[in-house]
Amino acid sequence: FPGKGMLFFTAGCLAAILIFYADKNIVLASIAILAVADPVSHLVGRTFGKTCFILSPDKFKMVEGILAGIAVGFAAAALFVGWLPALLAAVAAMFVESVICRPGMLFMDDNLLVPVTAGLALYLVKIAGLLAG
């Protein structure tokens, strides 16, 4: 339906805010990964992608897009958290987006799962003592 992507983008941002409200840097990094990594991964994958990601069940995701998503997601998240947490969150978010989110598999859109996954990764890193705050 029209506007589905924007609706789930907003829902994903809201979910990150509601779940991780106690740490604004986790919220901001999660939303940053959603805002830049997800669209870049799709754009690069469709435009320059040549290699199908082996774990993508329907061969819908391209390795080049995933790597681009990780790179820009890392850069965006690093504005709010350290480099190691940013890298781990970007990798986790792009992994979930690449393996779990495929057309027709789940009702949940990747715009909902990406920020929640990134936030969960950052929260676990915080518990492990690698994220200040």
pTM comes to 0.88
**Signed CA dihedral, 129, 72, 25, 91: sign only:** negative
Q: Taking 60 as the threshold, does the pLDDT of residue 127 lie above it? A: yes
For residue 23, which of 122, 130, 128 has the smallest C-alpha distance? 122
CB-based contact 53:98 (threshold 8 Å): yes
Strand partners, 62: 52
Output 61 or 107, whichever has higher pLDDT: 61
Q: What is the pLDDT of residues 65-80, one digit of tens each?
A: 899 999 999 999 999 9
CB-based contact 73:54 (threshold 8 Å): no
For residue 20, which of 111, 127, 123 has the smallest C-alpha distance? 123
Q: What is the pLDDT of residues 82-99, one digit of tens each?
A: 999 999 999 999 998 887
